[in-house]
Amino acid sequence: MEKILGSFQFHIALIVVGLGLDQLTKKWAEGHLSPSFEAPHGEIVHVIGDLFRFQLAYNPGAAFSSRPQDIVPFLSPTLFFLILSLIAVAVLAWFYRSVKKSDWLSRIGISMIVCGALGNFIDRMRIGKVVDFIDCDFPDFIMQRWPTFNVADCFVTVGVSIVLLAPFVYKLLKKSHKTEIAKNDAKNNCK
């Protein structure tokens, strides 16, 4: 199983399937939901009341709707995101190649980040902004409502989490394996 999960072909398949899922859900959102500024007159799909719903929003900026022209005013937003996406994918490809093949968990995480980055990149090249539609209200004290996001954003978040947690998971697995070996040795010595 680890051989399959660690294979380059599996990671490419993960990216392709993830991109398909991202683009299909965005197409559905654009065809069935109304933009958030028209929400009182359009369709909002309430999945769990106001806690979890689908509502169309377009994000012309970066994370949390930050604007690239505030950072680099001499570049158009499209060119800025094109350059940023190419750099991100190149860095992720280098990172992927530098990770050992046996570290399949980190490689899956990196593949998920690439998938999410490409999903939002496709939106920016296609319509100049990112299609967001997943709207959650997580109780907190900082924001009135959590920013609207999409499947690509989920891939990036989960991928980063996997990459960060992988060393701890491997450490636990190694410790568990050593414990199992010690138990078997003790069992064999008692016979």
* Residues forming the active site: 132, 153
Two tokens, residue 43: 């369709």
Q: How far apart are CA 107 and CA 76, in angstroms?
A: 33
Residue with tokens 């106001």: 50
Q: What ranges in 1-127 are assigned the alpha helix state H?
A: 2-5, 8-32, 77-98, 104-127
Using an 8 Å Cβ cutoff, are 155 and 112 in contact?
Answer: yes
For 180, the enclosing helix (H) or strand (E) is helix 151-190
Task: Return the amino acid letter for 33.
Answer: L
Q: How far apart are CA 179 and CA 88, in angstroms?
A: 40
Using an 8 Å Cβ cutoff, are 63 and 47 in contact?
Answer: no
Using an 8 Å Cβ cutoff, are 183 and 146 in contact?
Answer: no
